[in-house]
Amino acid sequence: MREWVRLFEGHPLLLFLVVAVFTLAVQSSTASIGFALGLSAGGLFSPQLLVPWVLGANVGIAMTALVSGWSTLEGRRLALANLSAKAILALPMVLLPSFAAEVFSLLPGPIMRETAMFHTAFNVVTGLVFVPLAGPLVRLMRWMIPTTTPPVTGLPSTESHLDPSFLESPSLALTNAARETLAMGDSVKRMLEYFWRGYREQNPAMIKQVSSEDDRVDRYYRDIKDYLSRVEGGLTPDEAQWHFAIMTFSNELESVGDIVEKHMCDMFRKQRAEALLLTGPDYEAVASLQSTVLKRFAVAQGLLANRGGTNINGFLEAKEELNRWCRKTEQQHYERLRGAAPEVIAASAYFLDLMDGYRRINSHISSIGYAFRSESAQWQGEP
C-alpha cells in the first residue's frame, strides 16, 4: 500500500482524477475522505496529498449527482452546474499545489480537523462565489443543455376513438370515426400553427415539428379509412351520407397536411436559404390569410361535429369571398412590383406560393360543406 500511495507523490492531478472516480463509485465524499484520513493516520499517506484528495472527493460527489439526475432535463442542468462550480474552483488548486498546501496549513488544529475544515471551507466558498452568479450560470446551463422537443410520431398518447367493438353498430362506429377525424383536424391545425410560427420567427425547429405532426396525420388517415371500410351491416341513407362526409373530410385533411409539409415548408427552406423575407403589405396579407384559414378550419370542424347544421351555405359563400380577396390582394401585389427593389421582386414568387398554398387549403377544408350540402339535398328529396 505504501508503494502504491507513493506513486501519487508529486502527481496531484492524477490523484485528483483517481479520487473523483473512486468517490463516484462509493457515492460518498465522506467515505472517500474518511478513507484518506485512515491512510494518513496509519502513516501511509502524507498530508500534502490530502488537498487533491479532498478536492477530488468533492468533484466526484458532484459527478454522482450528475449520474443520478441525468434522467430529467432540470436534473442534468442542476447537477452540471454543481459539477462546473466545484471543478472551476478545484482545478486551480490542483494545478498550483504549493498555493493549496499553504491555504491548508493556515487552518488550525490537528490534521483531522484541518482536513474537515478544508472540506467544509471549499463548499462554503463555492456557494459564496456561485450563488450570486446563479443567473448567468442558469443561462449557461440552458445553452449547454437546451430544451428539446422530441419528435412526435404515431397517434397521440390518448386512447383512439376507433373501437373495433362498435363496428357492428354503424351509428356508433360512425360517431367514433367522426371523433377521430376531429382529432385529426386538430393535428392538421397544429401543423399550420407550427408552420406560421416557424415562418414568423424564422425558426427551422418549428418547421421540423410540422414534419413530425404530418406523420401523425398520415397515421390518423390510414386508421380512419381502415375503420370505415370495416363498418358492418347495412347503412341507412343518412348513415351512408354521414360515412361519405367523414371519409371525404379525413381525405381532405390528409391533403392539407401534405400541402403544409411538402409545399409550404419546402418553400420556407428555399426562402430562408436565399434570405428573401416578406415585408410590409405582403407579410401582413399572408398573416391575415393564415388567421382567416384557421378560423375557417374551426368552422369546418364544427360542421363535421354537428353533421352540417344551418351554416353550410354561409361557409361555402365565405370560401368564394376569400378567393376574391386573394385575387384582389395578388393584383395589389403586382402593382407594388412596379419600380420595386430587386429583393422585393425576387421575394414575389414566395409570396405568391404562400397565397396559393393557403388558397388550396381553403379549397380542401371547404369540401366538408359540399358533402353536407349534398346530404341535405338528398334528405329533402332534391336531385
What pLDDT shows up at residue 343?
Answer: 81
Residue 10: Cβ-neighbour burial (10 angstroms; 0-12, 13-18, 19+): exposed
- Report the length, in residues, of the chain: 383
What pLDDT shows up at residue 259?
Answer: 92
Distance (Å, whole) CA 351 – CA 334: 11
What pLDDT shows up at residue 155?
Answer: 40
From first to last of its 383 residues, the chain has per-residue pLDDT tens of 667 666 766 777 877 888 788 888 888 888 887 877 777 776 666 667 777 878 888 888 888 888 877 777 777 888 888 888 888 888 887 777 777 677 777 777 777 777 788 788 888 888 888 888 888 888 888 888 876 544 444 444 446 788 888 888 888 888 888 999 999 889 999 999 999 998 888 888 888 888 888 888 899 999 999 988 888 767 888 888 888 888 888 999 999 999 998 888 888 888 888 888 888 888 899 999 999 999 988 888 888 888 776 678 888 888 899 999 999 999 998 988 888 788 888 888 888 998 999 999 999 988 888 877 654 444 333 33
235 grid coordinates: 347503412
- Dump the DSSP string for 273-334: HTT----HHHHHHHHHHHHHHHHHHHHHHHHHHTTS-S-HHHHHHHHHHHHHHHHHHHHHHH
Phi-psi region of 307 (alpha: psi -120 to 50; beta: other; left: phi over 0): left
Contact 64, 21 (CB under 8 A): no
Distance (Å, whole) CA 87 – CA 79: 12
Distance (Å, whole) CA 89 – CA 82: 11
Most distant pair of Cα atoms in the chain: their distance = 106
- Alpha-helical (H) ranges within the chain are 2-6, 12-26, 29-41, 50-68, 73-95, 97-105, 111-130, 134-144, 170-201, 204-229, 237-258, 265-273, 280-305, 312-337, 342-365, 367-379
- Give φ, ψ of 58 to 5 degrees: -70, -40
Nearest to 224 by CA among 264, 261, 187: 187
3-state secondary structure of 155: coil
Radius of gyration (C-alpha) of the chain in whole angstroms: 34
